[in-house]
Structure 1
């Protein structure tokens, strides 16, 4: 079914302090309203209804999540509240108002054993509490709302917040040798690029109205793939080109870096459907890393 064009503002962004919400806010797009704790808290359902009443959104973006993968192993209830129960409530509120919801999910819903990039119709088999909570969130959202768009992404980094690229830059400034896992494969994704994709989707919905093919699962990650070791080397090389130290980066096996939560060995995502439906393809990951590192260095140097 195709609907009439809809207003594209206000857009309510959930998760004010996260990397993606920060990128959306920094886009300068008029009509974005970013909210988060303590004003909106999934542990206090009444704050969701209050935010909807206060902002009367035309579209909602859920950029909030429990993303501490290892910590989730010891607090499955907390992960479920953040990644399943809260998003389900958002979907229900959006359904009651007939407005679209864009929700961000993860490559960790897959176990990483396919040996090729995953498409949206591949069966999911999460290996971690975090992955299971995100998979359950996907199911709850799709059951509650027929105008929900779920964007699975991966390996998100940005000049802000806690993420792998910033961790590597900080470690490389202090240590002559780094050991980084080199046998896990995925698609590094710039939060800025993901924010641009979300804004492009909202523009399409505003211009064309709602169409049934917009609903459901999409993969939205940086073009191209690498390993954590490859991402570390690329990030540090960019910093080195600006005069920062270039440590030796040794590739190690997953078994040499045990973690409470088992990471998927190969969680590459096929993003063809996003391009076919919305005409969106995220930039090549290496180019985006260069931009992000340049901004990170600039941010660090200016405090």
Structure 2
């Protein structure tokens, strides 16, 4: 690691993760492999949805946006982390740190909003199928996407500006493998109790409120599924809903543990483990949850493989 005197005074030093871990090189290599698999899986899912007309439905359009958000989140963190580790240069500029905070928060919040809207899509499709084409039309889908990105960006912009305007203690060493809000707050030299309350309020709005809406919607969905006369329709609805519920758990679980746990800023090791899960494993598991258990996506994948083989 370069000495502090060799960096600009406005730079930060990222301390990395799990310094006591003996096999850190193997761990970073595994993370890179998972990242490449996640990148490939999400990119492939976006291509399939874009290429094949039978996937041009609101549900898959929203799913392609979720994959795009996953790509943005993991690509804004993992390559920089791996580059720092293998180069031994853990310095990050003030601007780059602010950019990481902004993009990671933007995408995380946008994903929570989008997953909630995807639940509304499933609710209408199952509980009011005759009106589904009218309620969930292409214009409404575009509004959903815009609402997700705009809500995430505006909220993130406020938190990024507030976090970086505080006076930072020297040495400016962040106990994390990327610039994350709770980690940066640990090295602030001011009283931030008021801001911490704002973080809790934001967490309630971004996590608990959407989760409450999702769970309430699924109670109504499962009641509607139980009233279905067709076993085939019931199984299809349950398969789609179970995939969505898996994604809900993958996204909301780590977020609630990090931002809504008392004294979460004081447990950097646990937070780093949760962030590794959220930024590396979740983007990998998301396309698997919607592809391996979905006949339409598997059918499109087989067609794409067949087209690639015919070109050869």
The alignment's TM-score, normalised by the length of structure 1, stands at 0.27
Larger Rg: 2
Structure with greater strand percent: 1
